[in-house]
Amino acid sequence: MQFQLSTLDVVIILGSILFVVVVGILAGRKEKRSADDYFLTKGRLPWWIIGAAFVATSVSSEQIVGTAGAAFSHGLSISNWEVFALPCYTLLMVFFIPIYLKNRISTMPEFLEKRFGPAAGRIYSYTMLFAYVFIFMPPVLYGGTLALADLTGWNFHIILWATIALVAAYTVKGGYISVMYTDAVQCAMLLGGGLLLFFIALRHVPGGWTAMELAAPDRFHLYRPPDDAIAPMLGLLAGSMGLFIFYQATNQVMIQRVLAARSTWDGLMGIVFAGFIGFLRPLVTCLVGLVVWHYINVMKAAPALATPDHAFPFALKHFAPDWGLRGIVLAGFLAAVMSTVSALANSTSTIFSLNIYQPLRPNVSDKELIRVGRTASCLTLVLAGLTVPLIVKFGGIFLYFQQCVTFLSTPIISVIFVGILYRRANNAGALFGLLGGFVIQGGIVALNYYGGWNLHWFYQAFVAELIIMVSIVVVSLLTDPPPREKWEPFHWRPSILAHYDEGVPRPWYQQLKLWFGIYAISWVILYWLYW
C-alpha cells in the first residue's frame, strides 16, 4: 500500500512545526540573559508544565517505534515500560525530590559535589555527557528518521539533519525556558495524534479489543514470569530500584524539570500529573503494535513485516485515513522527537557549561557562559546525528536503548541511594562506587555472556547494584567519616516529608495525598484487570 500525504497533511505538519518553533523562540525572548535563566529557570515552573514536560521528554521516537515493535513481538507486557511507574514515582517523591528542592540543587553533578566532593561530580558530568550524545539521543533521532523515511520515501539523511536543524532553531537560542514551554505544547500534540491513531487502527479489527484478547489471550498479560526474556515482572521490580529510578530521579535531563519547580508542592504534584498522563501512554506508543500483530497474524490482511520496528509505520500507512489524520499523527510524532532531542541538548549544554567549563573559569561572564552553552548544544546535536547509523548494529532501537541505559545507570544510582540513606558514606566510597562500579557492572555482563548465566539485563544490573552498594559501605567504613556538613543536608529522614507543602494552606482539591491516592488506586486496578 502506497503512503501519501495530502495537502492538508502537509499543512498540518508544517503548521505544527512552525507553531512549536515560534513558541520556543517567544518563550526564550522573555528570559533575562543571565546564565541561571538560560540554563536552569529555577523556582518558576508550575506543576502542570513540569508534569507535561516530564512525559514529553520521556516519550519519543525510540519509545514509540521501539515499544510498538516490541509489543508486536511480545504482547501487552511491553506496556510495563509505560505504566509501571508507581514504585518509581513513589521513591522519587519520597526520597529524592524533597532533598533536591530543600537544598536548591540545580544539577546532579552539583548534588554529588556537595554530598561527596568535586571528583564525584566530574565523573557524573563526563559520564552523562557521553551518554546523552551517544546513548540517549541517537535512538531518538534514528527512530524518528526511520519512521518518516519509511512512510514518505524521503531521503533518510535529509530528514535526520532537517530535524536537528529545527530543534537547534529554538533550543540553542532560547535555552531551558524554551525547552519547557515547547515540551508542554508537544505533549498535547503527542497525546492527541497518538490516541487518534490507536482508536482508528482498532476500528480495523472486527470486534475490537475484545476480539484481539480472545484470539491470543497469552499476549494480553502485564505479568510475565521471572524467566521471561524481555519483561519479567520480578525484573521490573528490580529495575524500579535501578534503571527506572535512575532515569526519573538522577538523570539530569529528567530531574531538571522538577528542579525548576516554583515550590516543593509543584514538583511533587507535577510527578503525580505525569503519572495520570502515563495511563494514556500505552495507547500512544506500544498498543498499536498489538493491533498490527492481530491484523497481520490473525486476520491475514497483510504480509509479514520486515522487522518489528516497522509496526508503527505500518499502522500509519494502513490505518490512517487521508483526511488529515496522517498529518496530525506525524505532527505528534515529530513533536515527540523534537521534545526529547531538545531536552537532551539543553541538559548536555547545562552540565558542560556549569559543571565542567565554569569551574575551570571561575570568573567567566554570563555572556561567555551562554555562548559556550550554545556551542555545546550545537556540537551535541551534530555528534548525535553522526552516531545514528550505528544503531542498526545493536539489534533494534528497543534493545539498544534499554540495555545501554541499564548498564550505565547502575553505578550512579548506587552511589546516590547510599548517599541519601547512609550518613557514613564518604568521598572515597562514592569514587569507588562510580569508578569501581563500572568495572563491577562490566564484570557481571561478561560473566553473563561468557559464563553461561543467561540473566535478563535487569537482573544483571540488580546484582551489580547490590555489590556496588555494599562496596561503598565497606570502603566508607575503612576510611575517614565525612564531615557533618557533607552528609546532614542530604540525609533522608521521615520528617522531611512533613514539609512538602512548605506551610502553604491548600484547599482539599489541591491536597497531594488525595491525588496521589487516586493515582495509586487507579494503578492497582489496572494491574488487577490485566495481571
* pLDDT in the model for residue 166: 79
Query: How confident is the model over 202-215, as a mean pLDDT?
Result: 90
The percentage of the chain sitting over the pLDDT mark of 90, rounded to a whole number, equals 18
Whether 194 contacts 82, CB under 8 Å = no
Q: What is the pLDDT of residue 107?
A: 83
Lowest mean pLDDT segment, chosen from 94-98, 330-334, 440-444, 517-521: 330-334
- The residue type at 215: A
- Under the banding of pLDDT at 50, 70 and 90, the label for residue 1 is low
CATH code of the region 7-29+39-391: 1.20.1730.10
pLDDT digits (tens, 9 = 90+) for 363-378: 878 788 878 888 888 8
pLDDT-based confidence at residue 33 (cuts at 50, 70, 90): low
| The three cell numbers locating residue 448 | 553473563
Per the prediction, the chain carries an average pLDDT of: 82
Instruction: Give per-residue pLDDT as tens, 122-165.
Output: 999 888 888 888 878 887 788 778 777 777 777 888 888 888 88
pLDDT at residue 185 is higher than 80:
no
Domain boundaries, the chain: 7-29+39-391
pLDDT digits (tens, 9 = 90+) for 51-76: 887 877 777 666 677 788 888 888 88
Quick: pLDDT tens for 412-469.
989 999 999 999 999 999 999 999 988 898 888 888 777 777 777 788 888 889 999 9
What pLDDT sits at residue 394?
A: 54
Point out the least confidently predicted range of 26-35, 84-93, 324-333, 418-427: 26-35
> Helix or strand or coil: residue 10?
helix
Grid coordinates representing 56 are 514529553
Report the pLDDT value the prediction gives residue 334, as an integer from 0 to 100: 76
Determine which of 99-108, 284-293, 447-456 has the lowest per-residue pLDDT on average. 447-456
Residue 312 has pLDDT above 80, yes or no: yes
Give the pLDDT band of residue 175 (cuts 50, 70, 90): low
Local confidence band at 39 (pLDDT 50, 70, 90 cut-offs): low
The packing angle between helices 156-174 and 137-152, to 10°, is: 130
Angstrom distance (rounded) from CA 501 to CA 38:
28
Query: Cβ distance 28 to 21 under 8 Å?
Result: no
* 505 backbone φψ class: left, alpha, beta (φ>0; ψ -120 to 50): beta
Note the pLDDT tens digit of each residue in 248-262. 888 887 887 788 788
pLDDT of residue 518: 95
Q: Residues 327-331: what's their mean pLDDT?
A: 79
C-alpha distances out from residue 56 to 12, 181, 249, 514, 521, Å = 20, 11, 16, 25, 24
103 pLDDT exceeds 70?
yes
For the chain, what percent of residues have pLDDT higher than 70? 88
Axis crossing angle, helix 397-421 with helix 137-152, rounded to the nearest 10: 160
Question: Count of CB atoms within 10 A of residue 210's CB?
Answer: 9
**Contacts of the segment 438-446: beta carbons below 8 A, 24+ positions apart:** 438/411, 440/411, 440/464, 440/467, 440/468, 440/471, 441/407, 441/410, 441/411, 441/468, 442/407, 445/407
Overall average pLDDT of the 197-218 stretch: 90
Report pLDDT digits (tens) over 393-411: 555 555 566 667 777 788 9
Tell me: pLDDT of 339 over 80: no
Per-residue pLDDT at 397 = 57
Per-residue pLDDT, 403: 66
Model confidence pLDDT, tens digit, residues 468-512: 999 999 999 999 999 999 999 999 988 887 766 666 778 888 888
- The yes-or-no verdict on residue 520 having pLDDT over 90 is yes
| 517 has pLDDT over 80 | yes
pTM value? 0.82
Is 40's pLDDT higher than 70? no
At 503 the pLDDT is 65
CA separation for the pair 302, 284 (Å, rounded): 22
Measured CA to CA, the distance from residue 421 to residue 36 in angstroms comes to 30
pLDDT for the residue numbered 224: 85
CA atoms within 13 A on the CB side of 489: 15
